[in-house]
Chain A
Amino acid sequence: MAGLRWRRLRRVATVTSEATARTVTARSARRRGLLWREHVDAYVFLAPWIMGFVAWTVGPMLASGLLAFMDYEILLPPVWSGLNNLSTMAKDPLFLTSLGNTAYYTFIAVPLQVAVALFAAILLNQKLRGVSVHRTAFYLPALTPAVANALVWLWIFNPQFGLANAGLRLLGLPALKWFMSPELAKPSMIIMSLWGTGGEMLIFLAGLQGIPELYYEAARVDGARTREMVRHITIPLLSPSIFFNTVVGIIGSFQVFTTAFIATGGGPQNATLFYVLYLFRNGFQYFKMGYASALAWVLFAITLAFTLLQFRLGRFWVYYEAEAK
């Protein structure tokens, strides 16, 4: 009897486990099918962008990588020249001038932009009446086209009739030549760049609003002062935003072009001849597209090196809440 019961039980168990296995297999097959279809759907919708990216970004990048080793005068077929463009660069005084101008601009403008944007974000994070109007006002210049910005600032920095010198005269200070002085042209560009920090400010504002009020309340209970709360709560928890703005700011600043192209044309005396402006001249005014491509790849290498360095250094000061530090 006992043997019969055992056999029945074993048979029921076998049947049940086979049925379960069939169900599981069917379910996972259906899931795989669904996953596959989701992938297909996703790629169908991504296809226009991917095709554009390959055709208009990856393709030209690869082509320019090849052209960097060629003499290419645009209207004539390219001719292989090996490392000639790089050796020309080493002897080109304007390459160094433009690189120096760009480094000067980047390493002064970016920290200032981040500081100004952070300061503005902290001010605009206060619970005040009409704060959204102020936020909009601070962000609006970031939406203004670069050409319009440049023209407005040309007027502001006009030595005779500009707003900047009118302000200086009111304070009893001597008028400055701004864009017309080789010494002041780059600082003028840097001041001008602070006008458009609305984008960074918005990122800081979002970061600030993501910091739980709980931390500040606990700090207040412990007797912390505002300065200490900024230093020990706000800055550490905002460090990912600071990191992001710094990385993106440096990449953008290495490519500064429009303001110099419109406002100064690289002058006076090459004081604002930035790297990309020099690259543009070589590629489109001197018939040296091969050399311009080499310049572009050198800039890419410099930018990449700085970005990797920042990621390396970021380990020491960027705090992510999700990470165990």
Chain B
Amino acid sequence: MAIRPFARRRLLKGGLAVSGAAALAACGATPTPQVIEKVVTQIVEGTPQTVVETVVVKETVVVEQQVPVEAGGGGASVNISFYADDLAQQAVWDGIFTAFMQDNPDIKLRPQQVLGEDYFARLQVLMAGGVAPEVMEMESKQVPGFVVRNGMLDLQPYVDSSSVIKRDDFIPYQWDKHVHAGGFYGLPFSISTVVIYYNLAVFEAAGVNPPTATWDDPDWSFAGFLDTARQLTSGEGTSAVFGYMQTTWWPYMFPWLWSNGGDVLSEDRTQCTLGGEGTQGALQFLADLINKDKVWPTPDQATEGMDAMFGSDRIGMTPRTVQNTSIMNATEGLRWNVAPMPKGDGQTALTRAPSDCYCIWSQAPAKDAAWKVAEWITGPKGADLLLKGGYLMPARKGVATADSLHQSIGESINVEVLIDGTENHTGRQPVTVKWAEMGDALGSGYEAVLAGTKTPAEYAAETCAIIDPMMASIPADQQGWLGD
């Protein structure tokens, strides 16, 4: 019998035939082969879990796929994004979502943890693609950029009819920063008040008394702060101890600028004010801490990272937020406490207290359910769970009390510094719809000032030349945000 050679054409024909058959089988309504599905479903106390679904086809083909299983019954399903930097923070959110679904069995929550720094870039693309989470955690300072581009839902009608959410229940400016042109766009839920965290072991080793716990202490001035930092600084090389260190991220210059009577923008956010006397003085003070007084390590002296150096008794003072307390409490042997920011030539010491909020996507398919989620999380129950989580300060009034903060972050901590700072010593970051762009313009020159390669005056001249036209390009109807 003649054997036919295996020609390419036969291979092509065979391939096409098989592909065609497969396509027909997939599209057609033919009852055979019969598919028998065996779905392993598991609902555990409202906690979203992942189990394996096994699909058996004619008892010969087994396909395995990951299937997320949410708690709760039928009804609306809501995607929600949230930040969590570590497993402990993630556990706090898991608890909040679980509690919500127990209270609201008709709503399925699909949590989406925010990973990476390009969250807001991703959010834009998801919104443009029509697949953004309905409820999203946002930094309040990022909200205006999305509001003026119709990305966020006006929550005012929902607030008006809510029995749980009222402006009076929140710290007023934390609420008002989300108001624009009669609309309300973000439910505040956490505040990140910046105060000085100090390492008790470093103070004890240097024989220096810990700093004050009072915001209005006249001795806690720029000069007093520098004197303390100098006394704490000692040693060389990898065992050197530094009195102070802060991140070189530009928003951390605000407490120093404000406490010295300066700012980066004018009150109406139309003019760059980096050249002002208070701003120039504060910038020079910060640059001197590194380059002249040498109480703040240069970046190449601090490559271990600020948290590691603080945790290993090599940094005496550092400005941080409550979010860092979980790391500090988890660091074995670390004894720490908090103090206010020092006062310069300004009327009073001021700090930054940016907030996070929950917003609802303007195109959310289930807006009412999304509101229910945001309302619950920022309401009394959510705020209480958030505080017990021990790494965020709720924006609701009366939740972050001295007693509750002592319980959540530590009995010996000067929590009054946090409370008084949040309520009475907070400046407003000059938020505009061009926050990210302004930040990049401010950031690189600020690094140069800290490195001592630019004077504050040069920095002001170069940066204001960029920022002034940037601010001028913002239409009048997009201005007028309170600030974060």
Known: A41-B12, A93-B466, A287-B149. A75 touches B304 (CB 8 A): no
With A and B bound together, what is the CA distance between A115 and B453 in angstroms? 35
Among A44, A269, A287, which residue has its beta carbon within 8 angstroms of that of B145?
A: A287
Among B118, B151, B238, which residue has its beta carbon within 8 angstroms of that of A75?
A: B151
Would B16 and A76 count as touching, CB distance under 8 A? no
Among B16, B150, B440, which residue has its beta carbon within 8 angstroms of that of A44?
A: B16
Known: A75-B149, A286-B436, A287-B149. A180 touches B299 (CB 8 A): yes
B302 (CB) vs chain A CBs: closest residue: A160
Chain B contacts for A305, CB-based, 8 A: none
Chain A contacts for B127, CB-based, 8 A: 74-75
Within 8 A of B (CB), among A14-71: 37, 41, 44-45
**A141: Cβ under 8 A from any B Cβ:** no
Scoring A37, A270, A285 by chain B CB atoms within 10 A of each residue's CB, the highest score goes to A285
**A317: Cβ under 8 A from any B Cβ:** no
Would B437 and A286 count as touching, CB distance under 8 A? yes
Count of residues in A whose CB is under 8 Å from the partner chain: 28
Among A73, A159, A281, A287, which residue has its beta carbon within 8 angstroms of that of B440?
A: A281
A159 (CB) vs chain B CBs: closest residue: B300
With A and B bound together, what is the CA distance between A268 and B447 in angstroms? 7
Among A73, A180, A266, A284, which residue has its beta carbon within 8 angstroms of that of B149?
A: A73
Count of residues in B whose CB is under 8 Å from the partner chain: 33
Among A37, A75, A175, A269, which residue has its beta carbon within 8 angstroms of that of B445?
A: A269
With A and B bound together, what is the CA distance between A159 and B436 in angstroms? 30
CB distance from B364 to the nearest CB of A (A): 14
**A255: Cβ under 8 A from any B Cβ:** no
Would A270 and B150 count as touching, CB distance under 8 A? no
**A158: Cβ under 8 A from any B Cβ:** yes
Within 8 A of B (CB), among A199-222: none
Q: Quick one: CB contact mask for A154-197 with B, threshold 8 Å, 1 for yes?
A: 00001111000000000000010100101000000000000000
**B50: Cβ under 8 A from any A Cβ:** no
CB distance from A112 to the nearest CB of B (A): 25
Within 8 A of B (CB), among A101-153: none
Chain A contacts for B230, CB-based, 8 A: none
**B451: Cβ under 8 A from any A Cβ:** yes
Within 8 A of B (CB), among A286-309: 286-287
Known: A75-B146, A75-B149. A287 touches B124 (CB 8 A): yes
**A267: Cβ under 8 A from any B Cβ:** yes
With A and B bound together, what is the CA distance between A273 and B440 in angstroms? 11
With A and B bound together, what is the CA distance between A266 and B440 in angstroms? 10
**B29: Cβ under 8 A from any A Cβ:** no
Would B121 and A284 count as touching, CB distance under 8 A? yes
Chain B contacts for A45, CB-based, 8 A: 12
Chain A contacts for B436, CB-based, 8 A: 281, 285-286
Q: Quick one: CB contact mask for B3-24 with A, threshold 8 Å, 1 for yes?
A: 0000001001000100000000
Would A75 and B440 count as touching, CB distance under 8 A? no
B440 (CB) vs chain A CBs: closest residue: A281
With A and B bound together, what is the CA distance between A267 and B300 in angstroms? 14
B446 (CB) vs chain A CBs: closest residue: A269
Scoring B149, B304, B440 by chain A CB atoms within 10 A of each residue's CB, the highest score goes to B440
With A and B bound together, what is the CA distance between A177 and B128 in angstroms? 42
Would A269 and B447 count as touching, CB distance under 8 A? yes
**B120: Cβ under 8 A from any A Cβ:** yes
Among A41, A158, A269, which residue has its beta carbon within 8 angstroms of that of B448?
A: A269
Would B128 and A74 count as touching, CB distance under 8 A? yes
Would A160 and B124 count as touching, CB distance under 8 A? no
Scoring A175, A182, A286 by chain B CB atoms within 10 A of each residue's CB, the highest score goes to A286
With A and B bound together, what is the CA distance between A320 and B150 in angstroms? 59
**B125: Cβ under 8 A from any A Cβ:** yes
Would B453 and A182 count as touching, CB distance under 8 A? yes
Known: A44-B16, A75-B151, A269-B445. A286 touches B434 (CB 8 A): yes
**B234: Cβ under 8 A from any A Cβ:** no
With A and B bound together, what is the CA distance between A160 and B239 in angstroms? 12
Scoring A45, A269, A270, A284 by chain B CB atoms within 10 A of each residue's CB, the highest score goes to A269
Known: A284-B124, A284-B125, A287-B124. A160 touches B444 (CB 8 A): no
With A and B bound together, what is the CA distance between A125 and B151 in angstroms? 59
Chain B contacts for A160, CB-based, 8 A: 238, 300-301, 303-304
Chain A contacts for B149, CB-based, 8 A: 73-76, 287
Within 8 A of A (CB), among B105-147: 118, 120-121, 124-125, 127-128, 145-146
CB distance from A124 to the nearest CB of B (A): 35
Would B12 and A74 count as touching, CB distance under 8 A? no
Scoring A75, A93, A175, A182 by chain B CB atoms within 10 A of each residue's CB, the highest score goes to A75
Would B124 and A269 count as touching, CB distance under 8 A? no
Chain B contacts for A270, CB-based, 8 A: 444
A182 (CB) vs chain B CBs: closest residue: B453
* A contact set with B: CB distance below 8 Å: 37, 41, 44-45, 73-76, 93, 158-161, 175, 177, 180, 182, 266-270, 273, 281, 284-287
Apart from A73-B149, A177-B299, A285-B121, 14 more pairs, CB < 8 Å: A74-B124, A74-B125, A74-B128, A75-B127, A75-B146, A159-B301, A180-B300, A182-B451, A182-B453, A267-B443, A284-B124, A284-B125, A286-B436, A287-B145
Shortest beta-carbon contacts, A-B, top 3: A159-B300, A284-B121, A75-B149
Of the A-B pairs whose beta carbons lie under 8 Å apart in the complex, a sample of 25, sorted by A's number, is A45-B12, A75-B124, A75-B149, A75-B150, A75-B151, A76-B150, A159-B301, A160-B238, A160-B303, A177-B300, A180-B299, A182-B453, A266-B440, A267-B444, A268-B451, A269-B445, A269-B448, A269-B453, A270-B444, A284-B121, A285-B121, A285-B440, A286-B434, A287-B124, A287-B145
